[in-house]
Protein backbone atom coordinates (compact mmCIF):
# COMPACT_ATOMS: atom_id res chain seq x y z
CA UNK A 1 0.00 0.00 0.00
CA UNK A 2 1.31 3.46 -0.86
CA UNK A 3 1.37 5.91 2.03
CA UNK A 4 -1.12 8.80 1.84
CA UNK A 5 0.25 10.44 4.95
CA UNK A 6 -0.47 14.16 4.29
CA UNK A 7 2.99 15.38 5.30
CA UNK A 8 4.63 12.92 2.88
CA UNK A 9 2.24 13.83 0.05
CA UNK A 10 2.85 17.54 0.57
CA UNK A 11 6.61 17.16 0.63
CA UNK A 12 6.52 14.91 -2.46
CA UNK A 13 4.58 17.49 -4.49
CA UNK A 14 6.77 20.26 -3.09
CA UNK A 15 9.85 18.43 -4.39
CA UNK A 16 8.55 17.87 -7.93
CA UNK A 17 6.61 21.14 -8.35
CA UNK A 18 9.26 22.75 -10.60
CA UNK A 19 9.00 19.88 -13.12
CA UNK A 20 5.31 19.04 -12.61
CA UNK A 21 3.84 20.74 -15.69
CA UNK A 22 6.63 19.64 -18.01
CA UNK A 23 6.27 16.00 -16.95
CA UNK A 24 2.47 16.09 -17.00
CA UNK A 25 2.38 17.30 -20.59
CA UNK A 26 5.31 15.12 -21.76
CA UNK A 27 4.12 11.86 -20.15
CA UNK A 28 0.54 12.32 -21.35
CA UNK A 29 1.67 13.67 -24.75
CA UNK A 30 -0.44 16.75 -24.05
CA UNK A 31 -3.68 14.78 -23.58
CA UNK A 32 -3.99 16.02 -19.98
CA UNK A 33 -4.71 19.51 -21.33
CA UNK A 34 -7.57 18.13 -23.43
CA UNK A 35 -9.00 16.28 -20.39
CA UNK A 36 -9.13 19.47 -18.33
CA UNK A 37 -10.67 21.33 -21.27
CA UNK A 38 -13.37 18.63 -21.40
CA UNK A 39 -14.11 19.11 -17.68
CA UNK A 40 -14.56 22.86 -18.11
CA UNK A 41 -16.81 22.38 -21.16
CA UNK A 42 -19.00 19.90 -19.26
CA UNK A 43 -19.38 22.27 -16.34
CA UNK A 44 -20.00 25.35 -18.42
CA UNK A 45 -23.83 25.26 -18.04
CA UNK A 46 -23.49 25.23 -14.23
CA UNK A 47 -20.90 27.97 -13.85
CA UNK A 48 -22.13 31.47 -13.27
CA UNK A 49 -21.09 34.87 -12.04
CA UNK A 50 -23.04 34.63 -8.75
CA UNK A 51 -20.92 31.97 -7.04
CA UNK A 52 -17.34 30.95 -7.79
CA UNK A 53 -16.16 27.45 -8.64
CA UNK A 54 -13.69 25.67 -6.36
CA UNK A 55 -10.80 23.80 -7.98
CA UNK A 56 -9.56 21.56 -5.22
CA UNK A 57 -6.01 20.15 -5.26
CA UNK A 58 -5.48 22.80 -7.93
CA UNK A 59 -1.70 22.30 -8.10
CA UNK A 60 -0.30 24.59 -10.80
CA UNK A 61 -3.82 25.73 -11.74
CA UNK A 62 -4.26 24.17 -15.20
CA UNK A 63 -7.90 23.26 -14.54
CA UNK A 64 -8.55 26.55 -12.71
CA UNK A 65 -7.36 28.36 -15.84
CA UNK A 66 -9.80 26.42 -18.01
CA UNK A 67 -12.69 27.07 -15.59
CA UNK A 68 -11.88 30.78 -15.42
CA UNK A 69 -13.19 31.16 -18.98
CA UNK A 70 -16.70 30.72 -17.57
CA UNK A 71 -16.54 31.67 -13.88
CA UNK A 72 -14.54 33.12 -11.05
CA UNK A 73 -12.46 30.36 -9.49
CA UNK A 74 -10.87 29.63 -6.13
CA UNK A 75 -7.89 27.27 -6.41
CA UNK A 76 -7.09 25.41 -3.20
CA UNK A 77 -4.10 23.18 -2.48
CA UNK A 78 -1.91 22.39 0.53
CA UNK A 79 1.45 22.44 -1.29
CA UNK A 80 2.86 25.96 -1.22
CA UNK A 81 5.34 25.40 -4.10
CA UNK A 82 2.56 24.24 -6.45
CA UNK A 83 0.48 27.31 -5.63
CA UNK A 84 3.43 29.64 -6.23
CA UNK A 85 3.74 28.23 -9.77
CA UNK A 86 -0.02 28.40 -10.28
CA UNK A 87 -0.07 32.04 -9.22
CA UNK A 88 2.76 32.86 -11.65
CA UNK A 89 0.83 31.31 -14.53
CA UNK A 90 -2.35 33.16 -13.62
CA UNK A 91 -0.48 36.47 -13.32
CA UNK A 92 1.26 35.85 -16.65
CA UNK A 93 -2.18 35.60 -18.27
CA UNK A 94 -3.52 38.65 -16.33
CA UNK A 95 -6.25 36.51 -14.78
CA UNK A 96 -5.68 37.56 -11.15
CA UNK A 97 -9.18 38.99 -10.97
CA UNK A 98 -10.70 35.63 -12.09
CA UNK A 99 -8.63 33.17 -10.02
CA UNK A 100 -7.80 33.44 -6.35
CA UNK A 101 -5.68 30.94 -4.42
CA UNK A 102 -6.13 29.58 -0.92
CA UNK A 103 -3.67 27.29 0.82
CA UNK A 104 -5.73 24.62 2.55
CA UNK A 105 -6.34 20.95 3.23
CA UNK A 106 -8.97 19.11 1.18
CA UNK A 107 -9.89 17.07 4.26
CA UNK A 108 -10.78 20.15 6.28
CA UNK A 109 -11.62 22.93 3.86
CA UNK A 110 -11.27 26.54 5.06
CA UNK A 111 -14.62 27.57 3.50
CA UNK A 112 -18.16 28.13 4.74
CA UNK A 113 -20.99 25.74 3.80
CA UNK A 114 -22.73 26.01 0.45
CA UNK A 115 -20.78 28.76 -1.29
CA UNK A 116 -19.53 27.23 -4.56
CA UNK A 117 -21.47 26.61 -7.77
CA UNK A 118 -19.14 23.73 -8.70
CA UNK A 119 -16.29 21.80 -7.13
CA UNK A 120 -13.66 20.18 -9.33
CA UNK A 121 -10.77 17.94 -8.38
CA UNK A 122 -8.36 16.70 -11.07
CA UNK A 123 -5.89 13.95 -10.21
CA UNK A 124 -6.17 14.96 -6.57
CA UNK A 125 -8.70 12.63 -4.93
CA UNK A 126 -6.37 9.63 -5.31
CA UNK A 127 -3.84 11.38 -3.05
CA UNK A 128 -6.17 11.99 -0.11
CA UNK A 129 -5.81 9.97 3.08
CA UNK A 130 -9.62 9.56 3.11
CA UNK A 131 -11.57 9.76 -0.16
CA UNK A 132 -14.86 9.76 1.78
CA UNK A 133 -13.86 12.65 4.04
CA UNK A 134 -12.67 14.64 1.02
CA UNK A 135 -15.94 14.04 -0.87
CA UNK A 136 -17.99 14.96 2.21
CA UNK A 137 -16.09 18.25 2.46
CA UNK A 138 -16.75 18.92 -1.25
CA UNK A 139 -20.44 18.23 -0.65
CA UNK A 140 -20.49 20.59 2.34
CA UNK A 141 -19.03 23.60 0.48
CA UNK A 142 -21.22 23.15 -2.63
CA UNK A 143 -24.45 25.13 -3.02
CA UNK A 144 -27.64 23.05 -3.27
CA UNK A 145 -27.90 22.04 -6.92
CA UNK A 146 -24.13 22.57 -7.36
CA UNK A 147 -22.05 20.17 -9.42
CA UNK A 148 -19.07 18.00 -8.52
CA UNK A 149 -16.51 16.91 -11.14
CA UNK A 150 -13.83 14.37 -10.26
CA UNK A 151 -11.20 13.71 -12.93
CA UNK A 152 -8.98 10.73 -12.18
CA UNK A 153 -6.85 8.12 -13.86
CA UNK A 154 -8.50 4.77 -14.32
CA UNK A 155 -7.78 1.42 -15.95
CA UNK A 156 -8.59 1.22 -19.68
CA UNK A 157 -11.10 -1.53 -20.45
CA UNK A 158 -9.88 -2.40 -23.97
CA UNK A 159 -7.38 -5.27 -23.39
CA UNK A 160 -4.67 -4.11 -25.86
CA UNK A 161 -4.84 -0.53 -24.60
CA UNK A 162 -4.74 -1.80 -21.01
CA UNK A 163 -1.57 -3.83 -21.64
CA UNK A 164 0.12 -0.97 -23.48
CA UNK A 165 -0.85 1.40 -20.64
CA UNK A 166 0.53 -0.91 -17.94
CA UNK A 167 3.85 -1.24 -19.81
CA UNK A 168 4.00 2.50 -20.45
CA UNK A 169 3.47 3.28 -16.75
CA UNK A 170 5.94 0.64 -15.62
CA UNK A 171 8.77 1.48 -18.00
CA UNK A 172 8.29 5.02 -19.31
CA UNK A 173 6.50 6.96 -16.54
CA UNK A 174 8.73 5.72 -13.73
CA UNK A 175 12.01 6.17 -15.65
CA UNK A 176 11.32 9.41 -17.50
CA UNK A 177 9.65 10.87 -14.40
CA UNK A 178 12.61 9.98 -12.20
CA UNK A 179 15.11 11.27 -14.75
CA UNK A 180 13.49 14.64 -15.41
CA UNK A 181 12.26 15.39 -11.88
CA UNK A 182 15.21 13.79 -10.09
CA UNK A 183 12.65 12.11 -7.83
CA UNK A 184 12.30 8.35 -8.36
CA UNK A 185 9.92 7.96 -5.40
CA UNK A 186 7.33 10.41 -6.74
CA UNK A 187 7.19 8.82 -10.16
CA UNK A 188 6.89 5.29 -8.82
CA UNK A 189 4.15 6.57 -6.46
CA UNK A 190 2.14 7.77 -9.46
CA UNK A 191 1.48 4.36 -11.16
CA UNK A 192 1.26 2.61 -7.76
CA UNK A 193 -1.42 5.02 -6.53
CA UNK A 194 -3.34 4.68 -9.81
CA UNK A 195 -3.25 0.86 -9.47
CA UNK A 196 -4.57 1.03 -5.93
CA UNK A 197 -7.27 3.58 -6.67
CA UNK A 198 -10.97 2.72 -6.81
CA UNK A 199 -12.50 1.37 -10.01
CA UNK A 200 -14.77 3.84 -11.82
CA UNK A 201 -17.80 1.90 -10.51
CA UNK A 202 -16.60 1.93 -6.90
CA UNK A 203 -15.79 5.64 -7.08
CA UNK A 204 -19.21 6.41 -8.51
CA UNK A 205 -20.80 4.43 -5.65
CA UNK A 206 -18.75 6.32 -3.07
CA UNK A 207 -19.71 9.68 -4.60
CA UNK A 208 -23.36 8.61 -4.30
CA UNK A 209 -22.85 7.55 -0.65
CA UNK A 210 -21.47 11.03 0.09
CA UNK A 211 -24.80 12.58 -0.87
CA UNK A 212 -24.46 13.32 -4.58
CA UNK A 213 -27.14 12.41 -7.10
CA UNK A 214 -27.49 12.48 -10.90
CA UNK A 215 -24.25 10.54 -11.16
CA UNK A 216 -22.53 10.21 -14.49
CA UNK A 217 -19.26 8.57 -15.46
CA UNK A 218 -17.51 9.72 -18.65
CA UNK A 219 -14.53 7.63 -19.82
CA UNK A 220 -11.84 9.66 -21.57
CA UNK A 221 -9.23 8.37 -24.03
CA UNK A 222 -10.33 4.75 -23.86
CA UNK A 223 -10.81 4.89 -20.10
CA UNK A 224 -7.26 6.00 -19.19
CA UNK A 225 -9.02 8.78 -17.31
CA UNK A 226 -12.60 9.02 -16.10
CA UNK A 227 -14.63 12.12 -15.37
CA UNK A 228 -17.24 11.52 -12.66
CA UNK A 229 -20.06 14.02 -12.30
CA UNK A 230 -22.59 14.38 -9.51
CA UNK A 231 -24.95 16.98 -8.17
CA UNK A 232 -25.77 18.09 -4.64
CA UNK A 233 -29.49 17.79 -3.95
CA UNK A 234 -31.55 20.88 -3.41
CA UNK A 235 -32.76 23.57 -5.71
CA UNK A 236 -31.81 22.11 -9.08
CA UNK A 237 -29.15 23.72 -11.22
CA UNK A 238 -30.44 24.87 -14.61
CA UNK A 239 -29.04 21.95 -16.57
CA UNK A 240 -28.28 18.33 -15.72
CA UNK A 241 -24.69 16.97 -15.78
CA UNK A 242 -25.67 14.77 -18.74
CA UNK A 243 -25.89 17.66 -21.14
C1 LIG B 1 -1.43 15.28 -9.11
S2 LIG B 1 -1.54 16.90 -8.51
C3 LIG B 1 -2.91 17.53 -9.44
C4 LIG B 1 -2.81 19.01 -9.67
C5 LIG B 1 -3.84 19.60 -10.63
N6 LIG B 1 -5.19 19.42 -10.16
C7 LIG B 1 -3.70 19.06 -12.01
O8 LIG B 1 -4.69 18.72 -12.63
O9 LIG B 1 -2.56 19.02 -12.51
C10 LIG B 1 -2.24 16.63 -6.92
C11 LIG B 1 -2.32 17.89 -6.09
O12 LIG B 1 -3.11 17.59 -4.94
C13 LIG B 1 -2.57 18.30 -3.84
N14 LIG B 1 -3.05 17.64 -2.61
C15 LIG B 1 -2.88 16.35 -2.25
N16 LIG B 1 -3.48 16.12 -1.06
C17 LIG B 1 -4.05 17.29 -0.68
C18 LIG B 1 -4.82 17.68 0.44
N19 LIG B 1 -5.10 16.85 1.44
N20 LIG B 1 -5.25 18.96 0.50
C21 LIG B 1 -4.96 19.85 -0.48
N22 LIG B 1 -4.22 19.54 -1.57
C23 LIG B 1 -3.77 18.26 -1.67
C24 LIG B 1 -1.09 18.23 -4.05
O25 LIG B 1 -0.43 19.24 -3.34
C26 LIG B 1 -0.99 18.39 -5.57
O27 LIG B 1 -0.81 19.73 -5.92
Position 243 in a domain: no
Cα 120 to Cα 63: distance, rounded to the nearest angstrom? 8
Q: Give pLDDT, residue 93.
A: 97
Position 241 in a domain: no
Residues 229, 222 contacting (CB under 8 angstroms): no
Position 172 in a domain: no
Position 182 in a domain: no
Of all residues in the chain, the percent with pLDDT exceeding 70 is 97
Mean pLDDT of 30-51: 94
Q: What is the pTM of this model?
A: 0.94
Q: Give pLDDT, residue 67.
A: 98
* Binding-site residues, ligand 1, Cβ < 6 A: 6, 9, 13, 24, 57-59, 62-63, 77-79, 82, 105-107, 122-124, 127-128
Q: What is the pLDDT of residues 193-217, one digit of tens each?
A: 998 999 999 999 999 999 999 999 9
Residue 107 CA, closest ligand 1 atom number: 19
pLDDT over 70 at 221, yes or no? yes
Cα 90 to Cα 75: distance, rounded to the nearest angstrom? 11
Mean pLDDT of 54-81: 98
Q: Which residues pair with 142 in a beta bridge?
A: 116
Bridge-based pairing of strands 225-232 and 142-153 is antiparallel
Q: Which domain does 114 fall in, by range? A: 6-156+198-232
Q: Give pLDDT, residue 168.
A: 87
Position 175 in a domain: no
- pLDDT bucket at 239, cuts 50 / 70 / 90: low
Q: Give pLDDT, residue 90.
A: 98
- pLDDT bucket at 191, cuts 50 / 70 / 90: confident
Position 193 in a domain: no
**Greatest Cα pair distance in the chain:** 50
With the most atoms of ligand 1 within 8 angstroms of its CB, the residue from 10, 74, 77, 123 to mutate is 77
Distance 194 CA to ligand 1 centre (A): 14
Radius of gyration of the chain (CA): 17
- pLDDT bucket at 243, cuts 50 / 70 / 90: very low
Mean pLDDT of 69-74: 97
State how many domains the chain has: 1
pLDDT over 90 at 185, yes or no? no
Give the number of other Cβ atoms within 10 Å of residue 217's Cβ: 17
Distance 196 CA to ligand 1 centre (A): 17
Position 240 in a domain: no
pLDDT over 60 at 123, yes or no? yes
Q: Give pLDDT, residue 238.
A: 54
Distance 132 CA to ligand 1 centre (A): 16
Average pLDDT, the chain: 93
Q: What is the pLDDT of residues 129-173, one digit of tens each?
A: 999 999 999 999 999 999 999 999 998 988 899 889 889 888 888
Domain with residue 25: its CATH number is: 3.40.50.150
Q: Residue 54: in which H helix or E strand, if any? A: strand 53-56
Position 1 in a domain: no
Bridge-based pairing of strands 116-122 and 53-56 is parallel
Amino acid sequence: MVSKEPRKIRSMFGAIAHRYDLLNHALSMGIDLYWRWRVARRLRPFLNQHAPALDLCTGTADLALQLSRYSRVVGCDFTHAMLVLGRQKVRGKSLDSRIRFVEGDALSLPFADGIFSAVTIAFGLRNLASYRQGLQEMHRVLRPGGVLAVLEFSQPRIPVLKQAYVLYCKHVVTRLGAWISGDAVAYSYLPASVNEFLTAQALSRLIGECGFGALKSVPLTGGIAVLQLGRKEGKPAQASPQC
